[in-house]
Amino acid sequence: MLFDLDGTLVHHINPRVLQMLEFLDDCSHRAGRLVARFRLARRSMGKTQRAPRLLVHRAIHKVRRKSVEQMLEPCETMRSVLEKLRSEGVALGVVSNGLGRGYGHDVLEAFDLRQYFQAAIFREDVSRGKPWPDSIVAALNSIGRDLRRNDVIWYIGDQRKDIGAAMAASQLIGQTIRPIALGARAALGSVEHRLSPTQIMWTPGDFERAVAQTFARPQENAPIMGPLPAPQTLL
């Protein structure tokens, strides 16, 4: 199971900061598409391709004056979910469009989240961020074992780009990735892709209940949110 970071596992104390970061990230993505076309033209002319400089992302973190503890707070409900999944032997990864160096890795360490993940992929680890599929594919390749045909892969995020990235990655690897939308923005992406309503979680509590129902033993109550993957095949 793969998780987004900002807005999913951790929350910004000032929500406007997250909105600004997402807006700048979207602008960076649109600019990146133009740059990608330019690089494609350069490659067709036999010119070498340079590594992405990620100027917007680096500028964001360069102007940051507060520590991650002052900016963010962990979602304790999602921590409980991570504890449950780890106890069930589910392989876990985190996928973020934020930089790892100077931000993402600091967040994982500050809130003691690193212990849960076999893979952590940040923006500088791939050439293209979400909604491109690169970071999700990289996380699956780093999870610690090869994918099996009966694996059920979930990816949970709070933005439309998370849904798009999961759908694109599913097509790329030829194996189903089940996007889970957390909140209204991601729900819009689910509607655009005509996903099942059972894949929309309005709150972390909804997701916690869905995970509990997925791993419910036969003697426990039956799920009320529709069919979910068998727990022994969940990745």
80-84: long-range contacts at Cβ-Cβ below 8 A with a sequence spacing of 24 or more?
Answer: 80/208, 81/204, 81/207, 81/208, 81/211, 82/113, 82/116, 83/116, 84/208, 84/211, 84/212, 84/215
Query: 118 phi and psi, to 5 degrees?
Result: -85, -20
pLDDT of residue 145: 85
End-to-end CA distance of the chain: 5
Asked if 146 and 42 count as a contact pair (C-beta separation under 8 A), the reply is no
Asked if 78 and 204 count as a contact pair (C-beta separation under 8 A), the reply is yes
Using one digit for the tens of pLDDT, what is the confidence trace for 8-47?
999 988 766 545 555 555 555 455 555 445 444 455 555 5
pLDDT of residue 68: 87
Residues of the chain with pLDDT under 50: 18, 29, 35-36, 38-41, 51, 63, 219-227, 230-232
pLDDT of residue 186: 96
Domains in the chain with CATH codes:
2-13+66-233 (3.40.50.1000)
pLDDT of residue 74: 96
pLDDT of residue 13: 86
Nearest residue to 86 (alpha-carbon basis) of 215, 202, 175? 215
pLDDT of residue 110: 96
Using a pLDDT cut of 90, give the percent of the chain over it. Answer: 61
pLDDT of residue 210: 95
DSSP string across 101-129:
IIIIHHHHHHTT-GGG-SEEE-GGGSSS-
Averaged pLDDT score across all residues of the chain: 82
pLDDT of residue 217: 67
Q: Model's pTM, two decimal places?
A: 0.77
Asked if 92 and 100 count as a contact pair (C-beta separation under 8 A), the reply is no
pLDDT of residue 53: 55
The β-bridge partners of 95 are: 121
